[in-house]
Amino acid sequence: MEKERKSIIGVPGTARTDIQPRGEAFIRGETWQVRSYNNEQIRKGDRIQVVDIKNLLLIVSKTQKR
C-alpha cells in the first residue's frame, strides 16, 4: 500500500466538481473522490495536485487558475 500511496502523490488532475471540502476530480484517467487540503475552495475545472491519500480518499490542493 505504501508504494501505491507514493505513486499517486504529486500527480496532477482536474476538479470535476466544486470541492468544498469534498468533491470529485479526474486524475490519471479516472474519477476519484477527493477532499481539499486545509478546506481550500477549489472550483470545477481548476487544476489540482494530489498531496496525500487517506484510505481511498485523495487529498488535493489547487495548483493554478483554470
- Where are the domains positioned within the chain? 2-64
Predicted TM-score of the model (pTM): 0.86
Concatenating the DSSP letter of every residue in 38-57 gives GG--B-TT-EEEEEEEETTE
Q: Can you give the pLDDT at residue 37?
A: 96
Using pLDDT thresholds of 50, 70 and 90, give the confidence band for residue 5. low
Fold of 2-64: OB fold (Dihydrolipoamide Acetyltransferase, E2P) (2.40.50)
Q: So what's the pLDDT on residue 55? A: 86
Residue 57 confidence (pLDDT): 94
User: pLDDT tens for residues 22-62?
Assistant: 999 999 999 999 999 999 999 999 999 999 999 889 999 99
pLDDT given at position 29: 95
DSSP code, position 13: E
Q: Is 20 helix (H, G, I), strand (E, B) or coil?
A: coil
